[in-house]
Amino acid sequence: MQKQRIGIFSGSFNPVHTGHLILANYICEFTDLDEVWFVVTPHNPLKEAGDLLDDDMRLEMVRLALEEFDHMTVSDVEFHMPRPSYTIDTLTKLTNKYPDKDFTLIIGGDNWKQFHRWKESGRLIKNYQILVYPRLSEEVVIPDEFAVSVRLVEAPIVELSSTFIRESIRDGKNMRAFLPPKVYDFIVQNGLYRKK
């Protein structure tokens, strides 16, 4: 029996927005992956924690965003791991926990450009498939030596950032069109990202 193919889409999702959903939906429908798992990260070692919202609130927003999508789910696997968490450790843990699944890492062209800085990047390339999606700001170049395990997916480019959404909400802008409806309602009901 063929193993189920799972895409791992990690991020702070602070907040999750329609751009994330468009990308994940495209990957589910137009690649060989069966599902996409949104792995909510407690802390990215390459970013400052800054205005990172509470882990459980971000997890709940992703859960709400994915309720109507059959092939997408949310994971809190990194909440239960030593911090800072690294992708190689997360994928190793998931591979050991789910031996019936093949995991593919989903990253943007911006992350691919600095992939050589990631912990055990060589082991990631050797042991996992990597799907790179384009960003307007980065030209994606995949060297021939990585062509077996790294591939570019021609997903729609939606240049929408969580930072832009947070700052806009802080400035009193209506961001309803940029967020899944239940996420927008959750943000409003909980007064998230407002000026303090």
Q: pTM (2 decimals)?
A: 0.93
**Contact assessment for residue 26 and residue 7, using Cβ atoms and an 8 Å cutoff:** no
pLDDT (tens digit per residue) in 86-118: 999 999 999 999 999 999 999 999 999 999 999
pLDDT (tens digit per residue) in 124-168: 999 999 999 998 777 888 989 999 999 999 998 888 999 999 999
> Cα–Cα distance between 57 and 54 in angstroms, integer?
5
pLDDT at 8: 99
Is 60 exceeded by the pLDDT of residue 54? yes
CB proximity list for 152: less than 8 A, separation 6 or greater? 132, 133, 134, 140, 142
> Cα–Cα distance between 127 and 51 in angstroms, integer?
34
The domains of the chain are located at: 4-161
> Cα–Cα distance between 107 and 164 in angstroms, integer?
20
Please provide the CATH number assigned to the domain covering 4-161: 3.40.50.620
Query: Which comes out higher in pLDDT, residue 1 or 63?
Result: 63
Phi, psi of 103 (to 5 degrees): -105, 135
**Paired residues of 8 in beta bridges:** 37, 105
pLDDT at 48: 64
**Residue 37 one-letter amino acid:** W
